[in-house]
């Protein structure tokens, strides 16, 4: 596989390095935040696009830093069960991947500067903290992923911050409804990481990468994933009853047809078999998020 990729264009290699399947975590909160702004007649599509691109670039930058650091720390080896990592596979040098991360974060800053012009300097502070935490996810003296804090990072930044931030830059106001709507968004984004860490639980434990999955063990991590699904769906009637949204906000219940098989499979599959669960969890998050956004505007 690595030899075949080397024969392809550099664009395809960098696309692999960006980990496109993870980018759904950047799309969904922008969809939901924009839908909430639309209900108030204050949507700003240019601001939404800038928020989306900023989230994309922070996600890509974080992925690239993770690619380099996990390779250097021995977490990514030839025995890796998950999708190929470009540094470990020798497709790109650590220096090139690190440079790519700098470019990605730089583009995120450019998006942030535009959004700061709309809402003021506090937004710039949020952006800087997001980038620093993206770097600290695997790098630095206290890497979040190696301390079991990766799950919290994903929930906060690809749930609450991204959803509320999108609403903020479009409406120029803050409110509790986008915070509440960010809960299922963040939980399903966290689900992606949970599957990833469950698949890698043994390899991570060998190199002392103390993810939450390593700390909880296999049974505890399966229970965590199922709890994330359950709470995400249980939050829907709360959004309807407590925050004044229309009954259409229950539309994501349709996606239970995707969630029920995942609930089952997470408990019976292991190792490389979980790559399929990871892809289907990403699909669930996108479908759930799209239906939630649609339900908000109806």
Question: What gap in Å lies between CA 173 and CA 276, rounded to an integer?
Answer: 40
Give the global pTM.
0.92
Gyration radius from the chain CA atoms: 19
The residues of the chain scoring below 50 in pLDDT are 3, 7
Q: What is the pLDDT of residue 81?
A: 63
Q: What is the pLDDT of residue 43?
A: 83
CB neighbour burial string for 220-245, b if at least 16 within 10 angstroms, e if fewer: ebbebbbebbeebbebbeebbeebeb
CB neighbour burial string for 170-207, b if at least 16 within 10 angstroms, e if fewer: bbeeeeebbebbbbbbbbbbbbbbbbbbbbbbebbeee
Hey, where are the domains in the chain? 25-297
- Check if the beta carbon of residue 91 is closer than 8 Å to that of residue 205: no
CB neighbour burial string for 43-73, b if at least 16 within 10 angstroms, e if fewer: bbeebbebbbbbbbbbbbbbbbbbbbbbbee
Question: What gap in Å lies between CA 205 and CA 200, rounded to an integer?
Answer: 8
Q: What is the pLDDT of residue 143?
A: 87
Q: What is the pLDDT of residue 11?
A: 79
Which parts of the chain fold into alpha helices (H)? 2-6, 10-17, 24-39, 45-72, 94-119, 121-136, 150-155, 162-171, 176-199, 201-206, 212-242, 256-265, 274-297
Using one digit for the tens of pLDDT, what is the confidence trace for 86-145? 788 778 888 999 999 999 999 999 999 999 999 999 998 999 999 999 898 888 888 888
Q: What is the pLDDT of residue 18?
A: 87
Which of 282, 279, 253, 245 lies closest to 32 in space, CA to CA? 245
Q: What is the pLDDT of residue 111?
A: 94
DSSP designation for 8: S
Q: What is the pLDDT of residue 179?
A: 96
Length, in residues, of the chain: 298
What DSSP assignment string belongs to 112-168?
HHHHHHHH-HHHHHHHHHHHHHHHHTTSSSS-TGGGT-HHHHHHIIIIIIHHHHHHH
């Amino acid at each position: 596989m690595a030899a075949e990729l080397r024969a392809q264009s550099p664009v395809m290699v960098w696309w692999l390095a960006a980990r496109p399947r993870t980018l759904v975590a950047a799309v969904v909160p922008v969809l939901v935040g924009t839908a909430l702004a639309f209900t108030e007649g204050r949507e700003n599509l240019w601001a939404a696009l800038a928020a989306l691109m900023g989230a994309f670039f922070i996600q890509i930058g974080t992925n690239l830093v993770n690619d380099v650091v996990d390779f250097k720390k021995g977490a990514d080896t030839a025995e890796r069960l998950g999708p190929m990592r470009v540094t470990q596979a020798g497709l790109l040098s650590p220096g090139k991947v690190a440079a790519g991360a700098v470019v990605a974060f730089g583009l995120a800053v450019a998006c942030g500067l535009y959004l700061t012009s709309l809402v003021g300097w506090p937004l710039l502070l949020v952006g800087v903290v997001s980038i620093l935490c993206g770097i600290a996810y695997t790098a630095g003296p206290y890497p979040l992923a190696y301390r079991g804090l990766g799950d919290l990072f994903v929930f906060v930044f690809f749930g609450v911050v991204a959803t509320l931030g999108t609403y903020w830059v479009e409406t120029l106001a803050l409110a509790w409804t986008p915070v509440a709507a960010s809960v299922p968004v963040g939980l399903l984004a966290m689900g992606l990481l949970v599957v990833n860490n469950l698949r890698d639980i043994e390899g991570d434990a060998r190199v002392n990468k103390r993810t939450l999955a390593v700390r909880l063990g296999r049974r505890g991590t399966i229970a965590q994933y199922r709890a994330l699904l359950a709470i995400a769906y249980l939050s829907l009637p709360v959004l309807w009853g407590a925050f004044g949204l229309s009954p259409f906000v229950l539309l994501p219940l349709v996606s239970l047809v995707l969630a029920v098989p995942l609930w089952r499979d997470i408990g019976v599959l292991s190792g490389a078999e979980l790559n399929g669960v990871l892809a289907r969890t990403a699909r669930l998050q996108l479908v759930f998020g799209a239906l939630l956004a649609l339900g908000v505007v109806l």
